[in-house]
Structure 1
């Protein structure tokens, strides 16, 4: 993660979104989560080194913004707009978000295969 200002950290080297976090006197606010498992775990560990995660904000429903939520279970309150809620991991004829995430693992995050949930586990407890 790159330190943008004294309290703002962001990742600019991942495909897709730029997951970030902001440190405050009350804890940490995470903004979007990485799609790749090892990146999500590393981001959580780094963010928690600055204090407890109070909020996880999802800016949109695309898999590159929300798939890593699975690795932030129990870490603060998830905040999002109605569109994220309505479309969270919705499968359509054009895209199956879970399959898209799974397809990227062997090439983009081979170490993440060991911690990648199966479909039922992910959807039962995102």
Structure 2
């Protein structure tokens, strides 16, 4: 592990496959932001987390598996937007999907599936919720962007904002659960916070400069899709031709990534989502 302290109360692990995982240690316990994707990482992470004190809260920034699978192995109450609970109750990956995925990304975890269950949030909110840990508090705000149920977490005492996949330093995540107008609005919402440290959904801990880079990455792929629409291509044509760099799900020197067919599915669904949103709102091409 490469745990790094980014402020007086916050430690972040950016080396896990899947989302970044954060520890907020207050005088009255610990809050976590997102949990490891690989079960073997989650089990090891629990040992690290317990060294900081009693876990009171586990915050999920959205419902995607790379943010929520590790819930099962964590202590404390799981907290999210109410839409995340609904998605995990009704649309969580089934056993066969997880068995196939773990066989590639975490073979040692395949036997663990026999006892695994999706752990849904016990505490949910609609617009805003504050979690208090004695000397610090975490402000949770509903902010659709990467998904319809994404949230932003902010630790004002340290000036640290946790964006989930609303902002990623590593590159663009999937757009398949996004609406394009929300995607851009969410970046502006993050920019409105008074922060000095940004913990993204994927990639290295950053500062404000990451917002401009991330926004431009999005504009680039949106421009490609807008050009395809201008040429008269349909959604299937655009989805077959247009690709953006995936630095989130692919193999790296440190871990094995997703199967190629899943990565291809994410790309096609992302481009199709952008295409449909641009047909509905052509003005977004110049956002």
Report the TM-score when normalising by structure 2. 0.37
- For 2:18, the equivalent position in structure 1 comes to 16
Distance 1:63 1:18 in 2: 13
Distance 2:55 2:97 in 1: 28
- Pair 1:62-2:59 in alignment: no
Ranked by relative contact order (alpha carbons within 8 Å, sequence separation 6 or more), the top structure is 1
- For 1:82, the equivalent position in structure 2 comes to 82
- For 2:103, the equivalent position in structure 1 comes to 106
Distance 1:62 1:9 in 2: 22
Aligned alpha-carbon RMSD (Å): 2.2
The change in CA–CA distance for 1:13 and 1:89 in structure 2 (over 3 A counts) is farther
In the alignment, structure 2 segments of 5+ residues that lack a partner are 121-287
In the alignment, structure 1 segments of 5+ residues that lack a partner are none
Distance 2:53 2:31 in 1: 10
- For 2:50, the equivalent position in structure 1 comes to 48
Aligned length: 117
The change in CA–CA distance for 1:59 and 1:97 in structure 2 (over 3 A counts) is same
- For 2:5, the equivalent position in structure 1 comes to 4
